[in-house]
Copies of this chain bind each other. A is one copy, B any other.
Amino acid sequence: MGKQILEIGRTASFAKTITEYDIYTFAGVTGDFNSVHINEEEAKKSAFGRRIAHGMLTGGLISAVLGNKLPGEGTVYLEQNLRFTAPVYIGDTCTASVTVMDVLNQEKGIYRLETKVANQNGQTVLEGYAVVKYK
């Protein structure tokens, strides 16, 4: 029988200041050149007022916590649910936090983790959950 390796409530985080470089590099790698990310003049006319980071770039910080820290090496990423709750601007410092929520299948080592990213003002910019395999 599989044994539970990750204790419920265990938590880890990673913080990074999001730069203009990050946004332009993410655009180049993924192909997402929506003007709200790369055109200050168009972004000024949007609801956001200036250029914002791609939501999936901020989501990548969650991947960093899962891949590097909790669970870390050996993690198989099965699922990620993301709700983008506030914009991330150039220069914002984002902290991604991951907390073990549930054991979905102890035998197979499948866990659900709460995932959240907040900015330097404590405002949640992204929230959701991940499902990973780890044993």
Contact = CB atoms under 8 A, between A and B. Distances in A.
Contacts of A57: 29-30, 60
Nearest to A79: B83
Given A35-B73, A73-B35, A76-B47, A30 B84 contact: no
A61 to B, nearest CB: 6
A3 to B, nearest CB: 19
B26 A68 contact: no
B56 A63 contact: yes
A7 B34 CA distance: 21
A108 to B, nearest CB: 13
Contact of A64 (B25, B32, B59, B63): B32
A36 B80 CA distance: 18
Interface of A: 14, 16, 22, 25-26, 28-37, 42, 46-47, 54-57, 59-64, 66-68, 72-84
